[in-house]
Amino acid sequence: MSKFKSSKTKGTPAISTSSLPDIIFMLLFFFMVTTQMRETSLRVKMKLPMATEIQKLEKKSLVSYIYIGPPINQALYGTESRIQLNDQYARVSDVPEFVATEREARNEADRNLMTTALKIHKDTKMGVVTDVKQELRKASAFRINYSTLKGAEKHSN
């Protein structure tokens, strides 16, 4: 009969799904590589205060962090709030050096856009915070951001 016999009865061939795992794995690796892990391990307790009038920190690469809070290992370091710079406890007098190092690590053009994010435990006393702020002023790191969580605080009184 006809030379070109159409095989109507066959239907559409099944799409091969054997490469699906590879695609998914690629996605997986993409996410694993791009999501940033926290680079400093916290050595102070961190319970941020709440606020409503907050702004997002725009450029993450221009932000340096100062952590202040009660030490995690209280048996060893006591309960008084400590300052943490990078990965270790520091004193107030170490702040200018920290600011200088952070500034060195950035582009010259971006240096005056740098922000210091103060991550401070809510039970900290203002004394140490004021000291740090004074040091930042002296080191001319004027842009600061008090890190807070979004939400309304319940006013007890």
Task: Verify binding: residue 33, other proteins, rule CB under 8 A.
Answer: no
State in Å, rounded, how far the first CA of the chain is from the last one.
Answer: 96
86 vs 145 by CB, closer to other proteins: 145
- 């690469």: which residue's tokens? 61
Question: Residue 72: what are its φ and ψ, rounded to 5°?
Answer: -70, -45
Which class for 53: exposed (0-12), middle (13-18), buried (19 or more C-beta within 10 A)? exposed
Q: Considering only 6-14, 48-56, 82-90, 96-104, which stretch makes contact with other proteins by CB under 8 A?
A: 48-56
* Per-residue binding letters, 57-96, with other proteins (x by CB under 8 A): x--x--x---------------------------------
Angle of helix 95-104 relative to helix 126-138, nearest 10 degrees, comes to 50
The CB-of-25 to other proteins minimum distance in angstroms stands at 5
**Structure-token pair, residue 33:** 């590589």
**Structure-token pair, residue 91:** 């004193």
- Interacting residues toward other proteins by CB under 8 A: 17-18, 20-21, 24-25, 27-28, 31-32, 35, 49, 51-57, 60, 63, 115, 117-118, 120-127, 129-130, 133-134, 136-138, 140-148, 150, 153, 155, 157
